[in-house]
Amino acid sequence: MTKFQERIFSGVQPTGTLHLGNYLGAIKNFVELQEKYNCIYCVVDQHAITVDQNPQELRSNILEVLASFIAAGVDYQKQIIFQQSSVPAHSQLAWVFNCVSRIGWLNRMTQFKDKAGKNKENVSVGLMVYPNLMAADILAYLATHVPVGDDQKQHLELSRDIAQKFNNDFGVDFFPQPEPLIYGSATRVMSLRDGNKKMSKSDPSDFSRILLTDDDETISAKIRKAKSDSELIPNTKDALQNKPECLNLINILAATTNQSVEQVLGNYAGKEYSSLKKDLADCLVQVISPIRKEINNLLDNRDELNVILAEGTEKAAAIANPVIEEVYRIVGFK
């Protein structure tokens, strides 16, 4: 039994229109979790500027991510949704964590290595300390559970290390050890063009990803053109080991229809991929089409979205401010 009240926190960057990976890996789970838990979902704009952003696009993307949360089913009246930069506790705690976290830990972050590439000396300092800010996001709310896709696992481990080191350094039991919640059949949705690359907002090919704003015809065309195989669908997952694009389509269908991969294989073994693709396209249209329409409705009324953000800020700050007060006392600022 832990002394910490169970609380969910997660964040999404406003760096472009959200895609199926964001939806199946994270946002679909955000919606399910709100049945059981108190949840805080954040549009993490401070993370977005760790790489160059166009201010006008950023402003618009913040509202689009907010609209996507609501359109997907996040209940903004019962839960908290808000914008990271509007609650100063995130930056305040991030600074303390910059002084707790170790450079060696950050140097091991694979996402930093991937994003920095050969350009390590010339990327922003923000990109390097990004995981410290992420730990601050979670721990400013003493959150205990964090629903994310598989790509955030290492960052979550770092958050746990930071929480533990802070507690040890100051001889307190103040921060919980946040648990990652990585579940479902699509914790890592891959590109529709290359099954070894994850589906991402930054892939140059539009056909690599399905967006939550794609129209029905575009969704069907992207699935029709997705890379697959001329052989028939096998009946075991093992047979798909060297066919990542095929496994990806099966994982997506399983996650979208709330079935296991084994159930999907049971239904499609011996059939051609074209028949699976047809059903997958239909399922995706059924899921995405109402979300797209609602995103567009919500974006027609930006004033209302700004009111929702302001209310979220107030509720979020009411939780985070006392945490920061206590951190300042613990470290000796007060």
SS3 label, residue 41:
strand
The structure tokens listed for 221 are: 């065309």
Query: Roughly how many angstroms between the first and final C-alpha of the chain, as a whole number?
Result: 31
Q: Closest CB to ligand TYM among 109 and 305?
A: 109
| Residues 139/175, Cβ–Cβ less than 8 Å | yes
Q: Closest CB to ligand TYM among 199 and 281?
A: 199
Alpha carbons 285 and 291: distance in angstroms, whole number = 10
Please give the order of strands across the beta sheet that includes 179-181.
Answer: 80-83, 38-43, 7-12, 145-147, 179-181
Alpha carbons 327 and 96: distance in angstroms, whole number = 9
- Site for ligand TYM contains 146 (CB under 6 A): yes
Say how far residue 13 (Cα) sits from the centre of its chain: 8
Residues in contact with ligand TYM, shown as a per-residue x/- string from 104 to 123 under the rule CB under 6 A = --------------------
Pick the binder of ligand TYM from 149, 176, 195, 312 (CB under 6 A).
149
201 catalytic per annotation: yes
Q: Closest CB to ligand TYM among 188 and 278?
A: 188
- Report DSSP state, residue 211: B
- Site for ligand TYM contains 158 (CB under 6 A): no
The type of residue at 135 is: A
315 catalytic per annotation: no
Residues 153, 165, 201, 278: which is the catalytic one?
201
The minimum distance between CB 21 and ligand TYM, in angstroms, equals: 3
Which residues participate in catalysis according to the annotation? 115, 198, 201
Binding residues (CB under 6 A) for ligand TYM: these are: 9-13, 21-22, 25-26, 44, 47, 134, 137-138, 146, 148-149, 151-152, 155, 187-189, 198-199
